[in-house]
Amino acid sequence: MASGSVRGGALCTVSLLNFAFVFITGSDFIRFVSFRAIYHNITGETTLCQDSVGWSAALCDPWVLGSVLWDLGLVAVFIVQHSVLAWAPVKQVCERSLGALNRTIYCLSTALALQVLMRCWQPVNGAPCLWSVRTAPWSVWFPLICFSLHFVCWALICSILMIYDYSELMGIKQVYYKCLGLGDPVADKPYGAQRLLSHLRHPVCLELLVILWVLPALSLDRLVLAGALSSYLLLGHSLDKQDLAYLWVHFKTRFLSQQGKKEEGTELSQ
């Protein structure tokens, strides 16, 4: 009995520490992918690019090419980690060996890969921007518009993740269920929900695409990041007709239930 309690406490501690680390990594990623890129443009000026250098000269510069290849390698490491651990054979092995900590370890490894990408990222300042908004008054207003759009997109992403059972996505619910002897929380979900989750673990693709591409200035290293992650999102995650049907029924049911509660409350108040 005591050993079971100790094991359960250890599982909970690991899960909560992982949640804190993933939360910190998520905050760092928001700073890295949004505010770092917009901050340099908030006054209409940019130090992200070297517009006086032509593309022919930039693409012949060994430092520029080396930085681009380095950044591509960092993105590739993240994509490989994220994909290999989600591959069915590897996933089955991890589930058998890690048990309730499987999802926790997956999120931990993803956060570590993101930390490596962000801390080792090499900005490419020796090439011109692909675009840069510098004409008044848009040199001031467009960065503010981008900041507002990014803020709204991140708020939507956080809201969607909360609705999408955030505790299960982070592996906390799996540990909680294990400690209480309730089994796998995913198994309690309807078949449609399980199918949807297996097809779309990232219900935030549109918002991420806006965040990656809507910027006052697009540097060469940002093109590498945006292009690679956009391709991964579009190719690796998709909805089919059955998923859309499940979403429609799910949200329609919730909407009708909320309407019924409002009507009931109105009748009681009268």
> Would you kindly state where each structural domain of the chain is located, as residue ranges?
2-239, 241-270
Residue 205 CB neighbour total at 10 angstroms: 16
Structure confidence at residue 8 (pLDDT): 73
Query: pLDDT value at position 42?
Result: 55
Determine the average pLDDT of the residues in 162-191.
Answer: 69
Alpha helices in 85-182 (DSSP H): 88-98, 102-120, 138-163, 166-169, 172-180
- For residues 62 and 56, the answer to whether their CB atoms sit within 8 Å is no
Burial environment of residue 262 by CB neighbours within 10 A (0 to 12, 13 to 18, 19 or more) = exposed
- Rounded to an integer, the average pLDDT of 138-144 is 81
Q: Report, in angstroms and rounded to the nearest whole number, the Rg of the chain calculated over CA atoms.
A: 22
87 or 70, which is more confident: 70
Q: Who has greater pLDDT, 30 or 103?
A: 30
Q: Which of 37-51, 89-103, 127-141, 173-187 has the lowest mean pLDDT?
A: 37-51
For residue 199, what are the contacts with CB-CB under 8 A and spacing of at least 6?
Answer: 237, 238, 239, 240, 243
**Residue 207's pLDDT band (boundaries 50, 70, 90)?**
confident
Share of the chain above pLDDT 90, in %: 23
pTM: 0.76
Does position 241 have pLDDT exceeding 50, yes or no? no
Two tokens at 65? 């090419």
Amino acid at 16: L
Does the pLDDT of residue 21 top 80, yes or no? yes
pLDDT of the residue at 114: 94
Give pLDDT, residue 243.
Answer: 45
pLDDT at 239: 45
pLDDT: which is higher, 78 or 183 = 78
Gap between the Cα atoms of 239 and 143, Å rounded: 33
Q: Which of 122, 118, 141, 146 has its CA nearest to residue 33? A: 118
How far is 156 from 147, CA to CA, in rounded Å?
A: 14
Q: What is the mean pLDDT of residues 175-182?
A: 72
Whether 48 contacts 39, CB under 8 Å:
no
Q: With CA atoms as reference, report the closest residue to 221 among 106, 15, 63.
A: 63
137 CB contacts (<8 Å, ≥6 apart)?
A: none
Residue 28 has pLDDT above 80, yes or no: yes
